[in-house]
Amino acid sequence: MELRLALIGFGGVNQGLFELLLTKQDDLRKYGIDAKITAVTDLRLGTVINPAGIDTGALRASIQAGLSSVPLEADPGTTVTPDADLDATLKLVASDFVDVVVEATFTDPQTGEPALSHCRTALESGKHVITTNKGPIALAQKELVSIANRHGVLLKYEGTVMSGTPVLRQISTTLRGCEVTGFSGILNGTSNFVLGEVAAGKTFDTAIKEAQVLGYAEANPAADIEGSDVQLKVMIMANALWGAGLCRDDVSCQGITRLTEHEIRRAMTEGGAWRLVGSARRSPDGTIVASVEPKELPAGHPLLAATGVTNAISFDTDVLGLVTVTGPGAGRVETAFAILSDLIEIGEKVVADATEAAA
């Protein structure tokens, strides 16, 4: 089954997806999927469109050249324009040569824009949507799922919480049959890295600068070290688990900057460690308490398996007890894998629907 993809945003994540699509073609075919990129748009690079499929060789060459201009030179059947503003992108995601919209733009976490508009318009146009953007899912998950259901398409967002580590899929697949009453997790690699470096003897400022040099932290690291990034992830997890409808005000948030370097190093000498922990718990009456705060974890705590930029999350379940998942919480290829796994689920649905219609 052919799936025509529009890549919205062409930074590291969607470039990583492009590379995975090339190397995983045989694996995709096992699921009956023939993925084809028909459009790429990026505010910096412009837009390229070819309803028959963009030439992958030219796109790869452009990536290797550093993408200093639009991703492709014009070849037969390909349209290249510098136009990549919101109106043009909304028109693109509704196009009849697009089946799946992969949304990976830079987005304001306070408003979810422009990703929220991209996702909403695509779903309303009957397109499946995969996004790695936390903003639109944290702020408008219920609305977007409702639109998707109304139009018979899927909204997938595995990469919004722990990059390529499949935590949302744990809820929807492997933990079915268990009641999950709560979770707690280390969901931000930057703050985890900084705490580890401070514990090892560096100052906060030095650790943050090193995180920026290594690409773990943005020029303004506030979202990571003050906890707002984790706050969005807690909202996504709680809403996916329990349909909670949590908003920012429902998740108390405190970052790591109130900790002293002495506190952090003392914990390490005692065998434990400070971690920025995002958590939520659902009471029998349906009440949900959610928070983001630094916690001193004792030696042997399962979340201490997450060191450096690694993430971890523990689910409290009625049947299995505590189930902990650990894996990469960031990374270009890792996040692209989350998109690939979402694409496979969409492909399986499309194939199943086509088989049923033909029966």
pLDDT of 66 reads 59
pLDDT along the chain (359 residues), means of 10: 94 92 93 94 85 84 62 60 81 96 91 96 98 95 96 97 93 93 96 96 96 88 95 96 93 96 96 97 95 97 93 96 93 93 95 84
Side-chain-side CA neighbours of 13 within 13 Å: the count stands at 24
- Helix, strand or coil, per DSSP, at residue 92: helix
- Tokens 């089954």 belong to residue: 1
Residue with tokens 């042997």: 300
Strand partners, 183: 280, 315
Could you say which of 3.30.930.10, 3.30.360.10, 3.40.228.10, 3.40.930.10 is the CATH number of the domain covering 168-328? 3.30.360.10
Is there a contact between 225 and 208 (Cβ–Cβ < 8 Å)?
yes
pLDDT at residue 281 in the model: 98
The CATH H-level (homologous superfamily) assignment of domain 2-163+333-358 is: NAD(P)-binding Rossmann-like Domain (3.40.50.720)
**What are the catalytic residues?**
233
- Sequence length of the chain is 359
Q: Tell me what pLDDT residue 217 has.
A: 86
From first CA to last CA, the distance across the chain in angstroms is: 16
- Contact assessment for residue 222 and residue 338, using Cβ atoms and an 8 Å cutoff: no
Q: Where are the domains of the chain?
A: 2-163+333-358, 168-328
Alpha helices in the chain (DSSP H): 12-23, 25-30, 56-64, 86-93, 115-124, 134-151, 159-162, 168-169, 189-199, 204-213, 222-225, 228-242, 261-269, 332-358
